[in-house]
Amino acid sequence: MSAYLVEGGRPLRGTARVHGAKNSVLPILAATILCRGVSVVHNCPDLSDVRASISILEHLGCKVSRTGDTITVDASELTQNDVPDALMREMRSSVIFLGAILARTGSAALSMPGGCELGPRPIDLHLAAIRALGAEIREEGGALLCALPGGHMAGCEINLSIPSVGATENAMLAACGAEGTTVISNAAREPEIVDLQAFLLALGAEVRGAGSSVVTVRGGNVLHGGEHTVMPDRIVAATLLSAVASAGGEAEILGTDYRQLSTVTAVLAEAGCRIRSGADYITIRRDGLLKGVRPIRTAPYPGFPTDAQPPVMAALTRSEGTTVIVENMFESRYRHVDELCRMGADIRVEGRVAVICGVDRLRGTGLKAADLRGGAALVVAALGAEGRSEITGLTHIDRGYYGLDETLRGLGAGITRA
């Protein structure tokens, strides 16, 4: 069992570059099957979720190769239209392949995705969007069986009850294979949606509106291969910023769009960090003890990102004053709190509300990650703690952070993987 061994109390200094966004790579890889050609995708981190996506593509009949951070997908011929249970379990967001498989082959069979560490993630919105396009979907023996009784999907109006990122992406991919125009209202506005649109445009699709609440797709185009560079991972950037806020010091985070992280940097600035931003970098400096901040409420983009909540909370455990966090996105987003409290943090949780009463110091100890972002929060806390921490459960962290220990060592952190 691998673990991070962290010697806390060392200020971080230097420069770090952010790798490609996990939440952007996955739908883009799913989109490669829409075309009968070769797609080249750059800036793809070697994450476990990315490897699972490659396994799904290969099962479907694609030829996939990786050179460094570039993945090449030849989707000229598909031999399968299903995602078996074993592959669905490797990556919980595998349902993103549904719309693309259906658009390419006219039918699809996927195992029902389960919940995750953050609680159940219903796919009702995904299925409702695809049904609106004319698909027939039935559940049979734990599988989703999808077909097109009319022989094709037809453009329509899709109104999402909540701005789900996954449902927006699935609807966009399916709509590329529909005849006519599809209008997706109350669409998610996350930057990763904009990145997916950019890739679809490179394939020859007609898509507009990504980044707003209305996305329009004109389907029916014959798509070709394309080339695209994945956007930087804004949550990795938020984690590195939180790490400096926790450990102290000064660092420059390169390859990130400060506009996508304005809610996070505003909180860190209010807590006492000095923040400076440029076209593709953010610098952060923290000297004294942090201060409690006004209530943080997670929300869909452009609100405070739920994925940034755990590492920011970890940094604020050592502060003067009290901070209240309201988690509006996931019901089980506080699984890291008990581990932080074992380090000496004073955090009280009631439902979706967490109250962080700042303490002067944390103590290093044995810790176990229970989910992806919660695991990152434990690393952030350990960097600012006194003594040594041993963090297990790295399979969770590896889903979204590539070489996190190497990146932090580059900033002077005392962290190794054993």
**pTM across the whole model:** 0.96
Could you tell me which residues come within 8 angstroms of residue 39 by beta carbon, excluding any fewer than 6 positions away? 32, 72, 73, 75, 203, 225, 226, 227, 228
Dihedral (Cα; 177, 182, 185, 188), 10-degree rounding: 30
Q: Which residue ranges make up the annotated binding site for UDP-N-acetyl-alpha-D-glucosamine?
A: 92, 121-125, 307, 329
Arithmetic mean of pLDDT, 285-297: 97
**CATH number of this structure's domain 22-229, picked from the four choices 3.40.630.10, 3.65.10.10, 3.40.50.2300, 3.40.50.150:** 3.65.10.10
- Asked, as a colleague might, if the bond just before 122 is cis with ω within 30 of 0, I would say no
Cα gap 400→398, rounded to integer Å: 5
Q: How confident is the model at residue 114 (pLDDT cuts 50, 70, 90)?
A: low
pLDDT digits (tens, 9 = 90+) for 182-220: 999 999 999 999 999 999 999 999 999 999 999 999 999
pLDDT digits (tens, 9 = 90+) for 224-247: 999 999 999 999 999 999 999 999
Does an H or E element contain 159, and which? strand 157-159
Q: Which residue ranges make up the annotated binding site for phosphoenolpyruvate?
A: 22-23
pLDDT digits (tens, 9 = 90+) for 266-282: 999 999 999 999 989 99
Q: For residue 105, which amino acid is it?
A: T
Q: Kindly provide the residue ranges of all beta strands, DSSP E only, lying in 230-364, ordered along the sequence.
A: 249-254, 274-277, 281-286, 290-291, 296-297, 319-320, 322-326, 346-350, 353-357
Say if 4-18+232-417 and 22-229 have the same CATH topology.
yes
pLDDT at 156 over 60: yes
Cα gap 137→80, rounded to integer Å: 18
pLDDT at 137 over 50: yes
pLDDT at 157 over 80: yes
Look up 176 and say whether it is catalytic.
no
Arithmetic mean of pLDDT, 124-134: 95
Q: Which of 35, 116, 156, 341 is catalytic?
A: 116
Q: Which residue ranges make up the annotated binding site?
A: 22-23, 92, 121-125, 307, 329
Cα gap 183→341, rounded to integer Å: 47
Number of residues written out for the chain: 418
pLDDT digits (tens, 9 = 90+) for 387-400: 999 999 999 999 99
The C-alpha angle 337, 341, 344, rounded to 5 degrees, equals 150
H helices then E strands: how many in the chain?
14, 26
Enter the DSSP assignment of 167: H
pLDDT for residue 44 = 98
CATH superfamily of 4-18+232-417: Enolpyruvate transferase domain (3.65.10.10)
pLDDT at 120 over 90: no
Rounded to the nearest 10 degrees, the angle between the axes of helix 309-316 and helix 262-270 is 10
pLDDT at 119 over 50: no
pLDDT at 296 over 70: yes
pLDDT at 112 over 90: no
What does pLDDT average to over the chain? 95
Arithmetic mean of pLDDT, 72-98: 92
pLDDT for residue 141 = 84
pLDDT digits (tens, 9 = 90+) for 309-345: 999 999 999 999 999 999 999 888 899 999 999 999 9
Enter the DSSP assignment of 113: P
Give all strands of the β-sheet with 136-140 in edge-to-edge order: 82-83, 107-111, 143-147, 136-140
Q: Which residues pair with 81 in a beta bridge?
A: none
Query: What is the SS3 assignment for 201?
Result: helix
pLDDT at 91 over 90: no
Handedness of CA 292, 293, 299, 305 (dihedral sign): negative
pLDDT at 23 over 70: yes
pLDDT for residue 39 = 98
- Locate the domains of the chain by residue range: 4-18+232-417, 22-229
* Encoded tokens for 40: 């080249």
Q: Kindly provide the residue ranges of all beta strands, DSSP E only, lying in 51-142, ordered along the sequence.
A: 63-67, 70-74, 82-83, 107-111, 136-140
Handedness of CA 73, 36, 228, 160 (dihedral sign): negative
pLDDT at 93 over 90: no
